[in-house]
Structure 1
Amino acid sequence: MGSCRLSIQTEAPHMLPSILKDRASQKHISGHYILATNRTDVWMGPSQVITDKLRLHVTYRVSAWVRVGSGGHGRHHVNVCLAVDKNQWVNGGQVDADGDQWYEIKGAFKLEKQPSKVTAYVQGPPAGVDIRVMDFQIYAVDRKARFEYLKEKTDKVRKRDVVLKFQGSNAVNLLGSSLRIQQTENSFPFGSCIARHNIENEDLAEFFVKNFNWAVFENELKWYHTEAEQGRLNYKDSDELLEFCEKHKIQVRGHCLFWEVEDAVQPWVQSLQGHHLMAAIQNRLQSLLSRYKGRFRHHDVNNEMLHGSFYEDRLGRDIRAYMFREAHKLDPSAVLFVNDYNVEDGCDTKSTPEKLVEQVVDLQDRGAPVGGIGVQGHISHPVGEIICDSLDKLAILGLPIWITELDVTAENEHIRADDLEVFLREAFAHPAVGGIILWGFWEMFMFREHAHLVDADGTINEAGRRYLALKQEWLTRMNGSVDHQGEFKFRGYHGSYTVEVNTPSGKVARSFVVDKDSPVQVIALNV
């Protein structure tokens, strides 16, 4: 805490804690807070040594309410930071706060190696700015209880009541006949990114085709790949990847038309100004979208607009909406997405759910036909309630949310599997989530280390087995018999099915599809 002074104060906040309200031990804000004054450096504030209270490989939730006190004007960055030994700083959550109201910090962390000392700090504002901290808590996540809740939620969101009505000449003789229902495919989109060189690996390609029904290209559609030098277009890799996906009936997201982060913009584009840059943007849109019109289901229009401003800085604020408007004109069947990272975990003040909502509303006000929200999902220690809270805030827009680049890192494959399950269950159970795309699955071909599901030699590791087990869990299988009305009623996941009925004249198999349009679906089957 340094030389700052701490005192206990009392206040009755007007906001209830969204992230703590579902925790039995904390149903309301206490009203007591710590006031830190006389701060002479950014790191000064309330702190506590918590070494003996932590266990390795356990995900801990961080929750605190903060408010800037006297000495500060406008918003200031406030964060929970853990000093681990002498050389490691761990982000436990952060927020931009002012003196007008209380703001909730929510984050998470996990220790992979035994530390000699861990100290938790609340810090961030400049020297001279007071900090108020209320109900600062760090506690282990109860995943077991959360999973039971999510299973019930998933049943409501991803299943439907179905009535199979058997018709035909044999129907009158079916009373009591046994039947077996087998779901062959869940229609929910589960996908992965792939690269052109991936499909040369037969084992990798086989795993991809067998276990995913959507794809996104890692780099092959990005502008710096298709036009590394001005005027020299190269769509060979994207053509071949798209043909591969179409051959295997895998639907594809387009990623990405533009990238707003300057480091991801190729040098020749960075050198352009004014109408020359505008002409290049128009050529890019016309070239790609006319070539692939109707073949990509989605397009990420301008990637990571919360973290970059290359085009906006040079061409004005409306350029982003212009990209959406023009893309829609050229390929009206494609759903156009925003796409950004660190939206779901409370660790980045640049990309909070609230800021992404503000961005989408601004784009819509400018006539941009935003059709979906891309939440990338590069995460290391997911906490279900934090993810759900972020998705809830985004869902207010009424647009489908897709997890577009999910990878979960942990050196230990069993911990990686546990963490991956947290994210997958949370996303699959949320009614606003329309699909989940992994950012790779095969070791040596990953964006982040220790995120793979399959080892380099083709062995499916524990994270991969967990992914496959969840996909099996989310398939409906059951045995039963035809009732006196010639019907069989069940509740099942959306997707494709077969039913095998033992009729007096032998077994009869039929196929049907359970969609998600209405509460009860009646399906007539001729036997």
Structure 2
Amino acid sequence: MSDIRNYIVFLILPISLGQELLQNPDFENVNSISPWICNECNAAIIPDYYHGKSSVHVSGRIHKYSGLGQTFPVQGGHHYQCSAYIKVHFNTQGKLFANLHMFVTYKTTDGTSHYKQFANDQYHQKEFNWEEIGGDFYIPSGVSSAKVYIQINDHSVVYSLDHASCQQIPHDSQWKIKATDRIENTRKGRLNIKITSDGQLDTNGLIVQIKQTKSKFAFGTAFRAQYVTDSIHKAYQDFLYNNFEWVVPENSLKWKQMEWSRGHINYDKGIDAVKAVKAHGMKIRGHNMFWGVPSRLPRWLTGLSSSELLQELHNRVNGMIAKSRGMLEHWDVNNENLHGDFFEQHLPNPNITNDMFRWIHNAEPNVKLFLNEFNVVSSSISTTAYTNQGKRFRIDKVPIYGMGIQSHLPSSTINMDSLKYRLDKVAESGLPIWITELTIMDSNENNKAAALEDVLTMFFSHPAIEGILLWGFWDGAAYDTRLALATGSSVTPNAAGRKWQELFHQRFRTNETHTLSGQTSISQKVFYGDYQLTFRKNGVIVHTENINMDQDGQNIIVNL
């Protein structure tokens, strides 16, 4: 696992940004914080620091919005990122977390003031020491200045701030060309085939087909359990098995849906569905073991004591693993952990998610374990907090494999500069990334198809990303029909569905045929994955061979 992480860190280039727009960003002037303003608070330069030799210590806050801010120049019609490193200090009894926010405010040309939150870390512990808070945002046309500021809900919290930054995110009009180049360089390797024979070798007219049968990169979707276990839904099943290689049960492995009443667990629905798709060669993600958002919990958990709750968590892991052992590739451990803290508050244990990872790993060491979160690329609200969580898990030696990014995109209008910035930020965690729940909301199928092509190209090109799963594909089994790639009782692909098929079956796959004229070798770049090599002479198959292409410069010797 560590080798994979180091490989990813090596591949990720530094995030490209414009010039620094803040003044005194490191608080190195021991006599003044200017041009920073401490709004209804006290500020003092102290020798504790994240970067340089000093930081600013903020105390005496009387409102949640009391704190530091600075006005800086901007150019309307562009995207910006702002960040800072923060260390919180609070001694309020019973408080596990501080709720941190980062805002930008500006006035548009009509004189209206706008306040936009672009970063949030609502479960920040004082034990975290220095951590980054930040994100990105758009400044409308006509705006020439903006103010960035820190807000903390509990005004009793004091904090130190250092190494602040605001920069423009440059627009890259060549992003797709660069993404295509990255795909060529990171998703393909050179396959060298040498043809030999124990007797006389004549390759004139020999036809060699190089056909990819599986992709190393994961292309998949969520599915509904009832639609894969009942033959009446053959059209749904055909589309599923013909256009995806990975799947994730949408609801049937979730605790709430499995155990509506305590002790009465329905394993069969989810496990039968897993067996059905596995019989068709699909690889399966487990979603999810826990989900600490109150509305997503079995209701009966809310009345338990902390000791009873802890025992039920163990029962959930042990019972689920006993039924699913060997069937699943992944588990999302505590879903949307940055947006729900039921377990943390009721045990109480601010690090219970770390423990959950260890329990599952001990029960089934070969399953890869994931965090899974939203508002990471669809907005920047949770991007940096999520990156920090991944970094902490690595430092604390939590048995985590990767970072699940849900990617519920609200429309087909997607800023690719911001999307790449957010992906690069999460990649700083040093962990593999999986796109786990991709949706693009648009009732216009052609707009959705164009956006899907752009998004898949960006995701597939990013060296930290190992897989992309849609959150459903059919309008008859979707929480919102605008996300559908296929429609009607025949599950007919719309323009977006046809675009997925084009990318999955053609553009991101290798299927080549070579007709030889006496040569005894072939050298070609191919996508990583499984292949069937077929050799024909005079219309007759003389040899077939299955290979796995998983490294650049792979040499295959075929004896005819």
Contact 1:171-1:486 within 8 A present in 2 as well = no
- For 1:486, the equivalent position in structure 2 comes to 520
Residue among 89, 97, 101 paired with 1:77 = 101
Residue among 223, 226, 243 paired with 1:194 = 223
**Which residue identity is paired with 2:237?**
A
Residue among 53, 59, 62 paired with 2:79 = 62
Superposed CA offset, 1:234-289 (max 9, x none) = 11210221121122111111111111222211210121122111111111111111
Structure 1 residues 468-507: aligned runs within 5 Å: 468-471=501-504, 472-482=506-516, 486-503=520-537, 506-507=540-541
Provide the TM-score with structure 1 as the length reference.
0.77
CA distance in structure 1 between the aligned counterparts of 2:406 and 2:73, rounded to whole angstroms = 34
Closer/same/farther in 2, CA of residues 119 and 264 from structure 1, 3 Å limit: farther
State how many pairs are aligned.
483
- For 2:47, the equivalent position in structure 1 comes to none
Asked if residue 467 in structure 1 is aligned to residue 497 in structure 2, the reply is no
- For 1:325, the equivalent position in structure 2 comes to 358
- For 1:454, the equivalent position in structure 2 comes to 486
Closer/same/farther in 2, CA of residues 32 and 411 from structure 1, 3 Å limit: farther
CA distance in structure 2 between the aligned counterparts of 1:75 and 1:317, rounded to whole angstroms = 14
Contact 1:494-1:513 within 8 A present in 2 as well = no
Give the Å deviation of 1:450: 1.9
Asked if residue 443 in structure 1 is aligned to residue 475 in structure 2, the reply is yes
Asked if residue 430 in structure 1 is aligned to residue 462 in structure 2, the reply is yes
CA distance in structure 1 between the aligned counterparts of 2:99 and 2:145, rounded to whole angstroms = 22
Give the Å deviation of 1:120: 9.6
**Which residue identity is paired with 1:402?**
W
Closer/same/farther in 2, CA of residues 362 and 262 from structure 1, 3 Å limit: farther
CA distance in structure 1 between the aligned counterparts of 2:538 and 2:150, rounded to whole angstroms = 79
Superposed CA offset, 1:54-92 (max 9, x none) = 7xxxxxx62144679xxxx99963334799999998968
- For 1:158, the equivalent position in structure 2 comes to 187
CA distance in structure 1 between the aligned counterparts of 2:488 and 2:538, rounded to whole angstroms = 52
Contact 1:32-1:135 within 8 A present in 2 as well = no
Asked if residue 289 in structure 1 is aligned to residue 321 in structure 2, the reply is yes
Q: Secondary structure of 2:201's match?
A: helix
Give the Å deviation of 1:138: 8.4
Please say which of residues 500-509 and 472-481 is displaced more in the overlay.
Answer: 500-509
**Which residue identity is paired with 1:303?**
N
Percent identical pairs in the alignment equals 25
Q: Secondary structure of 2:256's match?
A: helix
Give the Å deviation of 1:229: 0.3
Give the Å deviation of 1:333: 2.0
Give the Å deviation of 1:329: 2.2
Please say which of residues 244-253 and 492-501 is displaced more in the overlay.
Answer: 492-501
Asked if residue 242 in structure 1 is aligned to residue 242 in structure 2, the reply is no
Provide the TM-score with structure 2 as the length reference.
0.73
**Which residue identity is paired with 1:148?**
I
Superposed CA offset, 1:170-211 (max 9, x none) = 662115745343334433211111112333432222111111
Structure 1 residues 186-225: aligned runs within 5 Å: 186-199=215-228, 200=230, 201-225=233-257
CA distance in structure 2 between the aligned counterparts of 1:347 and 1:510, rounded to whole angstroms = 50
Closer/same/farther in 2, CA of residues 256 and 66 from structure 1, 3 Å limit: closer
Closer/same/farther in 2, CA of residues 434 and 281 from structure 1, 3 Å limit: same
- For 2:159, the equivalent position in structure 1 comes to none
Residue among 388, 392, 396 paired with 1:355 = 388
**Which residue identity is paired with 1:77?**
H
CA distance in structure 2 between the aligned counterparts of 1:31 and 1:45, rounded to whole angstroms = 8
CA distance in structure 2 between the aligned counterparts of 1:480 and 1:90, rounded to whole angstroms = 61
Residue among 119, 125, 149 paired with 2:178 = 149
Asked if residue 369 in structure 1 is aligned to residue 366 in structure 2, the reply is no
